[in-house]
Amino acid sequence: MPDTKGAHEGPDSLDQAFPGHQLSLSSRAVHADDYMNSSQAVAPPMHVSTTFRYDRDPEKLKQWENIDPTAPYDSHIYSRDSAPNTTRFEALLTSVLGGASLTYTSGLAAFHALLVQLNPKRIAIGPGYHGCHGVVELMKRLTGLEVVDLDQLPGKSPEKLAATGLTKGDLFHVETPINPTGEARDLATFIKIAKTLGCYVSVDATFGPPPLQDPVGMGADVAMHSGTKYLGGHSDMLCGVLTIHPERAKEGWVEKFKKDRLLLGSVMGSLEGWLGVRSMRTLELRVLRQSESATKLVEWLASSLGDKASLVSKFVARVHHASLQTEAKKTWLSQQMPGGFGPVFSIVMEEEKQARYLPSKLSLFHHATSLGGVESLIEWRALTDSTTDKRLLRISIGVEAWEDLKEDLLKGFAALAGEKMELEIRPA
């Protein structure tokens, strides 16, 4: 009987059906879970059961093993351990993210699980998503975890690196691309430094989902995603993912993380697992479109900044995005993000008030936090992140036509200009 304790442990019959042929990401995202299907339904059924009957044959009863003879690849015991919809979602993630993948209630729950399992004494982390820093603070309280500034490490001599105290078993947590700017960090350099010190590397790859980059393929021990963003893609599910490098999987990491998750209890609900499978089918279509549109809009905004007569240059002081990291693009960045740049970028307005007002002038962009969905979002970032510039607007590009989004932004700038004129002509 097959071992069915986790999706990643079962045979991937899709690969067996195409010996010697590497299926594309889009084909995997549509079919990697086919082998688990226990019915003739093309779309997966929704299961709500928290518990699963044991075998009626007393001789077959075994601790933590419960193989359903009618669904050998879809067998479960209790849904805090595994459940059909989330396991099927994990089979897709495993195939697409390049390593055994486990899901959690949210991105932060995944990051928490990572810190609980690795329990580093020190973490090298730089500016980025503020919630991860919140989890680090929480761990500081529990374990005395020390924080080292990640971005100060490149270029340091071996003596200076040693002086940071970073050593075997500590963790480099590299967020790239970075929230909220969408700019990228040089991952290969951080992996190299971490390896010389014996540290582990985790990558928060939320802003660069497949097919944009492959942190595990580059040698990261763990890739983390807030699946709430691109993997879910429709602003309707919370989800976190940890993907384990195949070498670490050989050392038993997947089982360790799964055992911890059973105790932390931070498993996704079945509805979210079901939505996750639905979402993965179109991951590549969505992300490539969003990435291309974002890059075109950034190019337009950045070139307009140089034109003093343009409406954009009246209000926008700076644009941030990986596609504008010109020097890096000539070297490490094109290798790191061969599939395109992330669909999130930021603009810094001339004045705080303009950042407060622009979102309300737009029709296609929702003024809301989060990112990664099919709907374009803009957020005056100061509303949820006290650490960012108060003039900054974070923009997440959805699947709408980029020309329409450009038009909407232009209309927004024109409305700001109109308002400004009104203020100017108003009698004192």
State which residue, 32 or 132, has the beta carbon closest to ligand PLP: 132
| Residue where the block lists tokens 């990112």 | 371
Question: What residues from 118 to 147 belong to the interface with ligand PLP (CB under 6 A)?
Answer: 129, 131-132
Question: What residues from 93 to 112 belong to the interface with ligand PLP (CB under 6 A)?
Answer: 106-108
Give the integer Cα–Cα distance in Å for 144 and 152: 22
Site string for ligand PLP, 235-274 (x = CB under 6 A): ---x-x----------------------------------
Instruction: Kindly state the smallest distance separating residue 1's Cβ from ligand PLP, in Å.
Output: 36
| Residue where the block lists tokens 């979602």 | 89
Give the integer Cα–Cα distance in Å for 371 and 384: 13
Q: What share of the chain is helix, strand, coil (3-state, %, to 5)?
A: 45, 15, 40
Contact 383, 394 (CB under 8 A): no
252-260, Cβ contacts within 8 angstroms, sequence gap of 24 or more? 253/117, 254/6, 254/8, 254/9, 254/100, 254/102, 256/117, 257/102, 257/113, 257/117, 258/6, 258/81, 258/102, 260/113, 260/116, 260/117
The amino acid sitting at 258 is K
Instruction: Kindly state the smallest distance separating residue 364's Cβ from ligand PLP, in Å.
Output: 22
Give the integer Cα–Cα distance in Å for 238 and 131: 14
Q: Which stretch binds ligand PLP (CB under 6 A): 147-155, 200-208, 315-323, 420-428?
A: 200-208
State which residue, 233 or 412, has the beta carbon closest to ligand PLP: 233
Binding ligand PLP (rule: CB under 6 A), the pick from 206, 290, 293, 388 is 206
Closest alpha carbon to 289 in 143, 394, 405, 120: 405
Instruction: Kindly state the smallest distance separating residue 16's Cβ from ligand PLP, in Å.
Output: 34
Contact status: 228 vs ligand PLP (CB under 6 A) = yes
State which residue, 169 or 269, has the beta carbon closest to ligand PLP: 269
319 - beta bridge partners? 347
Instruction: Kindly state the smallest distance separating residue 321's Cβ from ligand PLP, in Å.
Output: 15
Binding ligand PLP (rule: CB under 6 A), the pick from 86, 101, 179, 346 is 179
- Phi then psi for residue 389, to 5 deg, are -55, 130
Which residue's beta carbon is nearest to the bound ligand PLP? 107
Instruction: Kindly state the smallest distance separating residue 233's Cβ from ligand PLP, in Å.
Output: 13
State which residue, 131 or 219, has the beta carbon closest to ligand PLP: 131
Q: Which residues of 284-302 are buried (b: 16+ CB within 10 A; e: fewer)?
A: bebbbbbbebbbbbbebbb
Instruction: Kindly state the smallest distance separating residue 181's Cβ from ligand PLP, in Å.
Output: 11
Applying CB under 6 A, the residues found at the interface with ligand PLP are 106-108, 129, 131-132, 175, 179, 204, 206-207, 226, 228-229, 238, 240
